[in-house]
Structure 1
């Protein structure tokens, strides 16, 4: 029983703590997980907390059940955290208390002196009071003993479902330090704004004119995508005339699709913050400072636009597109464990540091994203980044036609969602 259960825990922890991350578990004795990890795993005792600053993840595996003062313990822990460090807490559902006691009585588990049975609401409150913010909470394991075929079926496919997840044994919470939210950095970071432009000749001048100043050395990167009109000529001519605050970089993409263009643009970027702005100007460039403020002030680490809050212009989004947006918002929220209202908005922001880490592990979700921003969503969720949506107005396209095929790209997106669900939800 123990071997199967801890193999499951190792699999769930490894989903977020990647092979090149440093994982430190705080335990007063030899951890049963120790034999399952290789390489960058360290077992700390309470008096070794000074080493936490080197960690990417700090693991508390059931240890909060034994703490007399959870708030004080977490407050002391927070003093040793860096902004990048994630706290991972494994705790067990109080619904299983009678079964756990029975298992102890029958000798199926070691006798322990659990004092605390913590609800989800209790855990979120403890984290808030002690200087942490809950990023996500997963509920796992309906059958902690191994029965061939049945255990895998139930724990992988049944346990994550909405009704059954409330009956699971294991809760796995990921939290971040509330550090940068209370003070902005002494030096304002600069932004690299990537615009993938295909058949957008009539919008290039407006983009250059309307992007506001955010950081001290902002840059705009145009990636042209084999246009049928004179988009490339327009980019070259307008950027030569430009005398504004932006540094301009231009290039033509090597492959096809917005995804290929965005990745090339991010490779060319040199600033601390990376932004995507759609060339159709349906999201006004004047809204970009809201995204900048959200990431600089630490409100979130991956910022996603939401077009479904404010009233939109009459022909900005067709009826079936709205239905598709709402469906994918619910589906993505379920699969990724963080709230999404508008997954299809093209305006997205992430730090360069986090993007580099994300891109190293892109193959985990497959390399077939034609849009260039959905692997950002999947990757950010897997990394435990705090995801925040910024509500924005959505305008009608003035020039040209959309490059998105509603049904074909919708089918691709659905396939990506199913693939991601098998990799991050039904594991």
Structure 2
């Protein structure tokens, strides 16, 4: 794939402490790498200065835009909203903390160029690439959750939760229209759907450093993710994904992207 158009989606909720540095690094990488890219921040109902900061940066860069969810809907909703409205040949999302440096996106793009439909960053395939390790308790809960996803959902990946994933646009347009989980547990669901549809998923080791300001609570959010995993499994057993896939094949029932409010987009 020569010189693809790339869409980079950054979900953000109350990220005023980090979003400025993140945009600086992402936009600098786009320029120095020579990517033909659009960068979109999806604001998930922030109550701090996140939106104002993004607007300031939009004045500096024509490739930056902002989408605003209708309130706080969750990371899964934000990623879906951004990716379904993206125009790139390759679409990706990255966490706002850039725990995986944006330069590592080139490794995901290479995997897609080599034939993958979906490329997912992995913290565990090559642990030597971890520049700052998680606390022991986070590693323990993370590995337990991953073991459960393997067992319950049949996902063979070492790391389903890394917030650094890229897709061929054609694959993303199908996968994310079938997505039902809108908060933290959406990662296993989109991988489950991708495999169900027969898309090629490539796991790629990426450099990664833990950010101590991570907003995820392994007790509260981990319990919710386990509940959502059970919902995914239940949806599959009940045939809901199969029915949605059949409906998508009928263009008169094609699912539309999530509606966003107060969208601010560069012309």
TM tier relative to shorter chain: 0.7 to 0.9
Matches within 5 A, 1:56-205: 185=1, 187-205=2-20
Distance in structure 1 (CA, Å) of the matches to 2:111 and 2:155: 17
In the alignment, which residue of structure 1 is the partner of 2:207?
393
Matched, 1:416 2:228: yes
- Three-state SS of the structure 1 residue aligned to 2:156 is coil
Q: 1:332 to 1:396 in 2, by over 3 A?
A: closer
Contact 2:14–2:48 under 8 Å retained in 1: yes
Contact 1:203–1:279 under 8 Å retained in 2: yes
In the alignment, which residue of structure 1 is the partner of 2:67?
251
In the alignment, which residue of structure 1 is the partner of 2:57?
238
1:269 shift after superposition: 0.7
Matched, 1:223 2:33: no
Matched, 1:334 2:151: yes
Q: 1:426 to 1:341 in 2, by over 3 A?
A: farther
TM-score by length of 1: 0.50
Contact 2:22–2:97 under 8 Å retained in 1: no
Gaps of 5+ in 2: 240-267
Structure with the greater alpha carbon radius of gyration: 1
Distance in structure 2 (CA, Å) of the matches to 1:390 and 1:425: 30
Gaps of 5+ in 1: 1-184
In the alignment, which residue of structure 2 is the partner of 1:381?
195
Deviations 1:375-418 (A, max 9, x none): 321211211222221112222427xx322222121112112223
In the alignment, which residue of structure 1 is the partner of 2:181?
368
Contact 1:189–1:215 under 8 Å retained in 2: no
Q: CA-atom RMSD, angstroms? A: 2.5
Q: 1:339 to 1:368 in 2, by over 3 A?
A: closer
Contact 1:190–1:215 under 8 Å retained in 2: no
Contact 1:313–1:395 under 8 Å retained in 2: yes
1:425 shift after superposition: 7.6
TM-score by length of 2: 0.77
1:217 shift after superposition: 2.5
In the alignment, which residue of structure 2 is the partner of 1:323?
140
Matched, 1:403 2:247: no
Distance in structure 1 (CA, Å) of the matches to 2:81 and 2:167: 15
Contact 1:195–1:276 under 8 Å retained in 2: yes
Deviations 1:136-163 (A, max 9, x none): xxxxxxxxxxxxxxxxxxxxxxxxxxxx
Contact 1:310–1:392 under 8 Å retained in 2: no
- Three-state SS of the structure 2 residue aligned to 1:388 is strand
Distance in structure 2 (CA, Å) of the matches to 1:326 and 1:425: 25
Distance in structure 2 (CA, Å) of the matches to 1:225 and 1:388: 29
* Higher relative contact order, chain-length normalized (CA < 8 Å, sep 6+): 2
1:324 shift after superposition: 2.0
